[in-house]
Amino acid sequence: MKKVTFLAVLILLVLTKHACGFPQNWFFSVEEDGIICIDLVLPDDAGYTGKGTYEYKITCEPKQECILWGSTLTEQRVSVGENNTGIIPICFNSLGKSIGTCSEPMIITVESPLIGVYKTWEGGICVSDYRDIETVNRQKNQKVMDVLNENFDLFDAKFEEPRVYSNPGEEITYTLLLYSQANITLDITIENQDLEISPKKITVSFSKRKNNQSVEFKIKAPETQGTYTINADIHVKGCTENYCRREARGLLIVGTKTDSGFSVSLFPETINIKKREPVSFTLTLHNYGERQTFDISLSVTPIYALKTMRRETIELDKDEIYRKNFLVTPLNRTAFYEITAFVSSGKNTKKASSYISTNEMLTDIGRMTETAGDAENRMMEEAEKWYKSVYTKSEYGDEIKEYASLREVLGKISTSSTRENETQERPPRPAQRPEEEKPQHTDWMLWSIIAFAILIVIIAFYLSSKRIKSEEEQYLFYQ
């Protein structure tokens, strides 16, 4: 009975079938026999903002791994332009796969050599009863399950627009958006040796009443035309865990300004909350073309959430930026929400998606115990102690050090249990027997054993050929 409270929360943190916008990277958990779809928006997601219609090649690799996970796209070519956006769904499934099964890392690539476009996104999928999405960069040799279990969205950071434009030598302002509902302090460092940026370092603190913030950076563009990368390294002061660090990446394009199409973004993109409190979002719409009318709508899935944004129609002049702040309040403390903004102008429609996870620390613990076997009860007992003594009594952000300690304890229990099982399963070495005299007249026994072995091989070959044929017929859908 000790783990009833903790389990009662975990039981509610289960997955449903879902479709998502295309994230930076795409590490997902999906239920047994479930489906996950991500929408690739071109040319926006590829980062191309010029005029003209061009062909893009989209691939999923390794091809066999993508097929194994039911990918609806292994290679496809599409032609799109700034005024005829293409939304390409890429779906995966977990048919026939059990809890704890994970894919190898997969990479989706978009390329268009004619205009110099080449972009990749890495991702992977695990089968779990606890829904999650991570958009972080996978560390070298890190398994997909570890990406999901070792990260939660304590805060989010993103440049307001993925790219800004300037003339040579011009000074511009580039805004970094920050969001967290936790009591944390962030250290921010801007990295680029070719640009004059101020400030280079800054510290921002969050609290219950101060969770949506921004920092403006002054950038002096160089005299040389070109594209310059701006990286922001953000980490939580006093914390070294993976979930305490994020990177934000932006581009400064000097000398050539786009003069057609429009861009749409939502912030925050992925954020975890602990209580059913409103999450403040910012929709940014930038019109690069001539004056035009835009229809804006918002959807929230699942529907049991409150939103302050309604459908609206606006007009924007050339190079005008429209910002809309709105709130989404989850009504279920154990749900996973997708917020999608749709913006249309004429026949051209674009979308941007964000995600709210609730109590993600608990879902990550639940996922760790799913395949723990004999160690599950011991792991749940430790988790229950932490849940009652720390999690339920702390303000969000104050428990992250104890959470790191709990994860370390759970990892040791799991490793110890694995070693014990391996020892128990290892067959004992047979005792050596003294040599005995070989019985005589055993030739007939030897030939009988050989004949029996040959018969077993023939039967095994026959059954194997039938099984292979049956599997080929069963998985014709994936070919």
pLDDT above 50 for 13: no
- For residues 17-22, average pLDDT: 47
Taking the C-alpha atoms of residue 58 and residue 109, their distance in angstroms, rounded to an integer, is: 6
Which pLDDT belongs to residue 431? Answer: 44
Which pLDDT belongs to residue 410? Answer: 93
Global pTM reads: 0.79
Residue 404 DSSP one-character state: H
Which pLDDT belongs to residue 373? Answer: 84
pLDDT above 80 for 4: no
pLDDT per position as a tens digit, 123-176: 999 999 998 888 888 988 999 999 999 888 999 999 998 889 999 999 999 999
At residue 371, what is the residue type?
Answer: T
- For residues 54-64, average pLDDT: 96
Taking the C-alpha atoms of residue 26 and residue 38, their distance in angstroms, rounded to an integer, is: 8
Which pLDDT belongs to residue 137? Answer: 87
**How much of the chain exceeds pLDDT 70, in percent?**
82
- For residues 64-83, average pLDDT: 92
CA 363 to mean position of chain CA atoms? 15
Least confident of 171-185, 244-258, 275-289, 431-445: 431-445
Helices 376-389/4-12 angle, 10° precision: 100
In sequence order, what are the residues at sequence separation of 6 or more whose Cβ sits closer than 8 angstroms to the Cβ of residue 13?
Answer: 129, 130, 131, 334, 359, 362, 363, 366
Give the pLDDT band (50/70/90) at residue 467. very low
Which pLDDT belongs to residue 398? Answer: 94
Give the pLDDT band (50/70/90) at residue 303. confident
Pick one of 3.40.710.10, 2.60.40.10, 3.30.1330.40, 3.40.390.10 as the CATH number of 153-257: 2.60.40.10
pLDDT above 70 for 454: no
Whole-angstrom CA distances from 308 to 64, 90, 145, 312, 325 are: 45, 31, 36, 12, 9
Which among 111-115, 137-141, 470-474 has the top mean pLDDT? Answer: 111-115
CA 251 to mean position of chain CA atoms? 22
Give the pLDDT band (50/70/90) at residue 419. low
pLDDT above 80 for 118: yes
pLDDT per position as a tens digit, 322-356: 999 999 999 887 778 999 999 999 888 999 999 99
pLDDT above 60 for 251: yes
Nearest 10 degrees: Cα torsion 208, 204, 398, 5:
60
Burial tier of 98 (Cβ tally within 10 Å: 0-12, 13-18, 19+): exposed
Which pLDDT belongs to residue 82? Answer: 75
**147: three-class secondary structure by DSSP:** helix
pLDDT per position as a tens digit, 270-290: 999 998 899 999 999 999 889
In sequence order, what are the residues at sequence separation of 6 or more whose Cβ sits closer than 8 angstroms to the Cβ of residue 148?
Answer: 27, 29, 126, 128, 132, 134, 364, 367
Which pLDDT belongs to residue 441? Answer: 46
Q: Where are the domains of the chain?
A: 153-257
Which pLDDT belongs to residue 3? Answer: 43
Nearest 10 degrees: Cα torsion 159, 160, 163, 167:
-110
Which among 10-24, 350-364, 413-427 has the top mean pLDDT? Answer: 350-364
Mean pLDDT of the chain: 83
- For residues 292-317, average pLDDT: 93
